[in-house]
Structure 1
Amino acid sequence: MFKVTPTAAEQVAKAAKQGGTEGFSLRLAAVQKPDGSIDYRMGFDEIGEDDIRFTSEGVDIVMAPEFVPLLDTAVMDFVTLDDGNQHFIFLNPKDPTYKPPSDA
Structure 2
Amino acid sequence: MDYLDNYKRDNISESELNAAARKAEKKKNVLGKAFQKFKDLWALLEAVMSGRMKIPGKTKAIIIGAILYFLIPTDLIADFIPAVGYIDDITVIAMVYNEVKDLIMKAKSKGII
Bin of the TM-score, shorter chain as denominator length? under 0.3
Give the structure, 1 or 2, with the largest relative contact order (CA under 8 Å, sep 6 or more): 2
Report the structure, 1 or 2, having the larger helix content.
2
TM-score for the superposition, normalised by structure 2: 0.26
Report the structure, 1 or 2, having the larger strand content.
1
